[in-house]
Structure formats: structure tokens, C-alpha cells
Structure 1
């Protein structure tokens, strides 16, 4: 059975998609960009600030579904420029210290709202 997950602690979807969908023990979180859920605007700053906001948005969705960052098994990362990879990794590693999930990181030609990063994840329990 498919269950849609929604929380006001993460940004409203900007299109026809759910923040996350739970199927069995799996949680599929849609791509999150660095939008502050309180203001609806893109956070100011560079890749570190944007990465932190994206991961906080993901954490909020995970928690709304009863999961945590430790349940993330796969991450799909889209960067506007691979030259940002090192700075992104610094922040990412703060959130996934032990037993990090599998990950794909690619450079995207353009991301929504011209942000620097978008991340989608899959979690399982």
C-alpha cells in the first residue's frame, strides 16, 4: 500500500509530486532543493549553506514518516558544478558520519530555481 508523507517542516512541493511516498518499509523522498520552509525562498549562501538546508529538509521528511538519517540507504545528489563536490562532501559527511548510504553524485546542467544542489533519498527499516 502506498502512503503519501507530508510535513510543514519541509518545503511545499513546487510541482505535482509528493514530498515522500512510503511503500512497505521503504521511504522514497523526492528531490529536495535548499528552500527554507519558513520563508519559501532559497537560502542565501553557497554550497555549504545550501547542502545543510537540503539535508535538514530531508531530515524533517524522514522524521515525519518515523525514520531517521540512519535509515537512508541511497542518496542521489545533483550538483550544478562538480567543482563544488569537496565543499558539499564536508557538510554531507556531518550528517552521515557512520555507515553512510550508497550514493550517486552527478553534475546537472540546471536545477530548479537555479540552486546549486538537489538531493533525493531512499530510506528503509
Structure 2
């Protein structure tokens, strides 16, 4: 079995639910799902779906940074959860601005509901080798 290390940072939202913000297993980091929650207030950010998407990716980047990575540059896979698939194009626009020319692999699914009734959540896998 691979040794694993939980990753915790003040740069991403935390809560009292039974999961880690991220778990490093060797050179791979698994980042838990994040909604558009401000890590300082613990509340969802105001704004449209593009503002919310940016906050989600900032939360993921903070966990990658804490694990010794280079933010979104080390992300190799993302799963996007949307409560409204009608937001798909606007999420893509904000997502593309954050990842640029070489985006990671991705899955996007529509779900019926997310915690705190946010409209977008993402989890990620990063390679830290």
C-alpha cells in the first residue's frame, strides 16, 4: 500500500465533515470537491457562474500549492459538477481562462443538487512528480 498524507490549508474552505481537503499518495494528489466557497468566510461567493468557477479553481489551486505543487499547472484531471447544464459554456469560458493552452483531462456532469445549493463543484487530480 502507498503511504498517504492528508493535505490541509487555510487557503481553501474547510469544514467539519469527515474528509481531507486533499490526499497525497506518492506523486499523485487527490483534491476533494470544492464549490465556490470563500475560505475566509465559509460562505459561497456572490456573482455569476464565471466568478463562482474561478473561486472553485482557486480553492483547488490552494490545495495543490499546499501539497508542494504549482497550482493549476499540476492538475491533470478535473471533474465538473453542474446543477444546470445551461451553464456549460460560461463555465468553459472561465475554466479556459484559468488553464490556458494545455488544460487537463475533464469530465462534466449535471447533478440534481450540490451542498449549500451552489451551482458548480469540482474535484481534481494533480501530478506532483
Q: Give TM-score scaled by structure 2 length.
A: 0.94
Is 1:110 paired with 2:110? no
Question: Per-residue deviation at 1:49?
Answer: 1.2
Give CA deviations for 1:22-66 in whole Å, capped at 9, x if unaligned: 000000000001110111111011211110110111111111111
After TM superposition, list the pairs within 5 Å mapping 1:18-57 onto structure 2: 18-57=20-59
Counterpart in 2 of 1:99? 102
Secondary structure at the aligned position of 1:3 is classed as: strand
Question: Per-residue deviation at 1:70?
Answer: 1.4
Secondary structure at the aligned position of 2:15 is classed as: coil
Question: Per-residue deviation at 1:14?
Answer: 4.8
Q: Which runs of 5+ in 2 are unaligned?
A: none
The answer on whether the counterparts of 1:13 and 1:19 sit within 8 Å (CA) in structure 2 is: no
Counterpart in 2 of 1:67? 69
The answer on whether the counterparts of 1:9 and 1:60 sit within 8 Å (CA) in structure 2 is: yes
Secondary structure at the aligned position of 1:13 is classed as: coil
Q: Which runs of 5+ in 1 are unaligned?
A: none
Give CA deviations for 1:60-98 in whole Å, capped at 9, x if unaligned: 111111112111111000001110001001110011112
CA distance in 1, matches of 2:15, 2:110: 22
Matched length: 125
Counterpart in 2 of 1:86? 89
Q: Give TM-score scaled by structure 1 length.
A: 0.96
Q: Are the structure 2 counterparts of residues 101 and 23 from structure 1 closer, same or farther at C-alpha, using a change threshold of 3 Å? A: same
- After superposing on structure 2, the runs of 4+ consecutive aligned residues of structure 1 that deviate more than 4 Å are none
